Amino acid sequence: MTNHDDRRRDALDLLVSNLEQDVERVRARIGSLVADVVGDARNLADWHESDGPESVNPTFLEMHTRALVAAKAELAEKRDRLRELKNVIEFADSRS
C-alpha cells in the first residue's frame, strides 16, 4: 500500500468514525427526548388528577412528538449515509 493509499484509508476511516459519532449523538438525543416525554406525561397525568381535564395542555407532548419525529428522520438519514459510505469503502477495497 502506498503512502497515498494510507492517507486515503485514514481519511475514509475518519469519515466513518465521524458518522458513527453523529449516529450516537442523535440516538442519545432521542433517549433524552423520550425521557422528557415521560416526565411531561407524568405531569399531565398529575395535573389532570389534581386540577381536572381543563388544566391539561397537551402542547408539551406535541412539541416532543415533533422533535422525536425530526430526530428519528435525522437518525435514519445518518444511518443511510454511514451504510452507503461503508459500501463504497468495501467496493473500493475489493477493487484494489
What is the residue whose three cell numbers read 463504497? 88
Q: How confident is the model at residue 30 (pLDDT cuts 50, 70, 90)?
A: very high
What's the rounded Cα separation, in Å, for the pair 23 and 21?
5
Whether 10 is in a domain gets the answer no
Structural domain boundaries enclosing 66: 22-95
Other Cβ atoms within 10 Å of 1 Cβ, number: 8
Whether 5 is in a domain gets the answer no
pTM: 0.74
Segment 47-88, tens digit of pLDDT: 778 887 777 777 877 888 899 999 999 999 999 999 999 998
Q: Which stretch of DSSP H or E encloses residue 35?
A: helix 3-51
Whether 11 is in a domain gets the answer no
What's the rounded Cα separation, in Å, for the pair 96 and 94?
6
Whether 50 is in a domain gets the answer yes
Whether 13 is in a domain gets the answer no
Q: How many domains does the chain have?
A: 1
C-alpha separations of 79 from 20, 24, 33, 38, 72 in Å: 8, 10, 19, 26, 11
Segment 36-46, tens digit of pLDDT: 888 888 888 88
Whether 49 is in a domain gets the answer yes
pLDDT of 1 strictly over 60: no
What's the rounded Cα separation, in Å, for the pair 86 and 94?
12
